[in-house]
Structure 1
Amino acid sequence: MDYVSISKQEISVEEVAAQASSPDCGAISLFIGTTRNHVQAKKVVYLVYEAYEPMAVKEMKKICDEMRQKWPIKHVIMVHRVGAVPIREASVVIAVSSEHRQEAQEAVMWAIDNLKARVPIWKKEYYEDGEKVWKENRECPWRNSSP
C-alpha cells in the first residue's frame, strides 16, 4: 500500500508508523524532518511551507512507484505538512516497511532525497529578527546546473 498526503495539520508520527506496519514485515524505517531553531547563526522562529498540491501528490506517487522497482518493500507512507511549522514539529514524515531492515532503510533515504529534489514544495524561514527568506533545497537539480 502506498499513501501520500499534503497536510495542513500536525503530522502524527505514531499514525504514520502504524499505517506502515504489517505482520509480514520485520522493519519500519522512518524519516522525520523537523523544524530546527537555527540556520547557521540565525535564530529560526518557524517555517512556512507551500506546495502545488496536485503536482506534489502526483510526484510523490511516482517516487513510491520507483521505490517499488528498486526494493522489495511492503508499505510506503509519505506525508508533508504545509503552512506554519513550529520548532521541533515534523514537516515531513516518511515510513517504509519491508521484510528486512536494509531495504526499508535504503528506500527511506532515497525517498527523502528524491522528495526534496523533485516535489514542488517550498519553504520560507522566519527568523527572530523579523527577516523572512525563501529557501532552496540543496538537492534541487537546478542549483547545480550551469547557466
Structure 2
Amino acid sequence: MTESEERRDVFKLSRDWLSVQEVVDTVSGSSCGAISMFIGTTREDELGGRKVIGLDYEAYELMAQSEFSKLCDDIRERWPTVTHVCVHHRLGWVKVGEASVAMAISSPHRHDGQQAIRHCIERLKASLPIWKKEVYDTQEESWKENAECPWALQNKVPPVTSSRENV
C-alpha cells in the first residue's frame, strides 16, 4: 500500500439495487493487484412443496456497522496485506435473481484477498444483525437463520413461520 493510500472500510445497507461497479470502485487502488468479490443472490428454492419467491431483510443498523468494523479488524489481523473492504447489503424485499449482498476486498496479491472474502461472508452471516425472511408462493413466510450463526449450530432457535397477507 502506498503511503498516500489509506485503508478504506465501507459498509452500506440499502433498499436499492446493489451496484457491483460501485463496490469494485470502492476497493480499487494503486497498490491493489487483486480484487476478490462475492455476490450473493436470492435463489429460487423449493421447500416442502412451497417455492421461494423472495427474501425480506431487516437489520439492526447501528449494531451492524459496529460488527462490520470488528470484522474488518479481524480480517486485517489475519491478512495484513488486505487494503480495502467494502460490503453492500440489501434491506427490504429482494426478489429471486437479485443481489442481496455484494462485497469486495482488495490486496496486492490474490491469495490473501480470496481467503479474506470467504472469511468475510462467513463471519458476516454469523455475526452481523441482519435477518432474512423467506417468502413463498403460498403467501406464507418463514424467518431463516444462517447456518453460520452460533445459535443455529446449537440448534436452539426453531424457525418461526407465519402467513403473509401482502406480497
Q: Which runs of 5+ in 1 are unaligned?
A: none
Deviations 1:68-106 (A, max 9, x none): 111111110011111001111111111000010010000
Between the aligned partners of 1:104 and 1:42, the Cα distance in structure 2 is 38
Between the aligned partners of 1:38 and 1:140, the Cα distance in structure 2 is 21
Deviations 1:24-47 (A, max 9, x none): 111100011110011445321111
1:127 maps to 136
| Higher relative contact order structure (alpha carbons within 8 Å, sequence separation ≥ 6) | 1
TM alignment of 1:39-118, pairs within 5 A: 39-40=46-47, 42-71=50-79, 72-118=81-127
Question: What's the RMSD between the two structures over aligned residues?
Answer: 1.3
Between the aligned partners of 1:15 and 1:95, the Cα distance in structure 2 is 10
Shift in Å at residue 22 of structure 1?
1.1
Change (3 A) 1:39 1:104: farther
Contact 1:6 1:57 (C-alpha < 8 Å) held by counterparts: no
Give me the TM-score of the superposition, normalised by structure 2.
0.84
Give me the TM-score of the superposition, normalised by structure 1.
0.95
Q: Percent identity?
A: 48
Number of residue pairs matched? 147
Q: Which runs of 5+ in 2 are unaligned?
A: 1-7, 157-167
3-state SS, counterpart of residue 68 of structure 2: helix
When Rg is computed on C-alpha atoms for both structures, the one with the higher figure is: 2
